[in-house]
Amino acid sequence: MLIRTALTVFALLAYASLGLADELDPETVLTSFERGGKIMWAILLASVVGCAFAAERFLTIRKGAQIPKRLMADLREAMVSGGVSAGLEVVEGNRSAMGRVMYSLLSRSGATRRELETTVDDEGSRILYDLRANLRPIGIIASIAPLLGLLGTVFGLIAAFRQAAELGMDDPRNFAAGIYEALYTTAFGLVVAIPMVIIYHMLRNRADNIMREVEERALAFISAASNRAERATRSSPAVTTASHRATAGSGRYAEPAQHETRADSEDTSVDE
C-alpha cells in the first residue's frame, strides 16, 4: 500500500507535467512504472532521498530558527544587568546562526574592533558552510536524475531494436511500443530533477540572505558597543588622558560599566 501511494504521487507529477493528469489511476501508474524498468526504482529512490533532505533543510534554514526574535532583546537585558558574562550565558548553547556569531563576539570581548569584525567573517563562513551542507545531496540528485532517466531510455532502446531485429520491421508496432516505453524513464527523471534544481537554488539563496542579515546585525552590534565604550571612557573622571587615548585608538569592546545608564547600555543591541 505504501509503495502504491508513493508511486501514485510520483506518477501524478509526471503525468501532470506531460498534460496527462486525466489518465491517472492506480493501475495506469503501476503499469507505467513497470514499463520503465528497473531504472525507475533508482529514480524513485533518488526522489525520496531528495525530498527528505529538502524537508530537513526547509525546517533548518528559516529566519525564525536562525535569527530568533527574542535573542537580541534578551542579550541586551542580560548585559545591562550583568555585563558580558551575563550575555555569554544567554547565547551559550544557542545553535542558531545569530547565537553562534554573538557567542564568538562576546568570547573575545577584549579584542579590537578589527579583530571582532574578522571574527564575524570567520564564524559566518563556518555557519554558512553548515547551512549549505545538506543542500549538496539535493544538488547531486538534481544532476543524476536526468542521467538515470537517460540510462533507462538507452536500455529501453536497445531492447526495442533487439525486438525489431527478431520480429522484423513489417509491423511498426513491434518497434514503436519499445520506443515509447523506453521514454518513460527520461520523463520521470526530468520530473524529479526539475523540482530538485528549484529547491536547491531557493534554499541556497535563503541561506545566503540569512547569513547576510546575521553579519549586518553583528557588525552593527560591534559599532554600537565600540561607540558606547568610547562615550563611557570620555565621561569617566577617573580615567587618565593616556588610557583614554589607548581605548579610543584601539576601538576595543569592553564590558559595560555598572554605573552606566540604561540608555547607554541599550546601544549594545541591534534593533529588532
Q: What pLDDT does residue 268 have? A: 42
By C-alpha distance, which of 71, 122, 132 is closest to 96? 71
Sign of the dihedral through C-alpha 136, 137, 140, 141: negative
Contacts of 181 (CB under 8 A, 6+ apart): 35, 36, 156, 160
- Rounded Cα distance between 29 and 41, Å, is 13
**Taking the CA of residue 23 as centre, how many other CA atoms within 13 Å lie in the half-sphere pointing to its CB?**
13
By C-alpha distance, which of 129, 85, 126 is closest to 256? 85
Which H or E run includes 4? helix 2-17
Q: What Rg, from alpha-carbon coordinates, does the chain have?
A: 30
Q: What pLDDT does residue 147 have? A: 94
Q: What pLDDT does residue 241 have? A: 45
Q: What pLDDT does residue 240 have? A: 43
Q: What pLDDT does residue 132 have? A: 93
Q: What pLDDT does residue 36 have? A: 74
pLDDT along the chain (272 residues), means of 10: 52 52 55 76 92 94 92 88 88 91 89 89 94 93 94 86 75 72 86 93 95 93 79 60 43 44 41 40
Report the amino acid identity of residue 55. A
What's this model's pTM, rounded to 2 decimal places? 0.72
- Rounded Cα distance between 7 and 3, Å, is 6
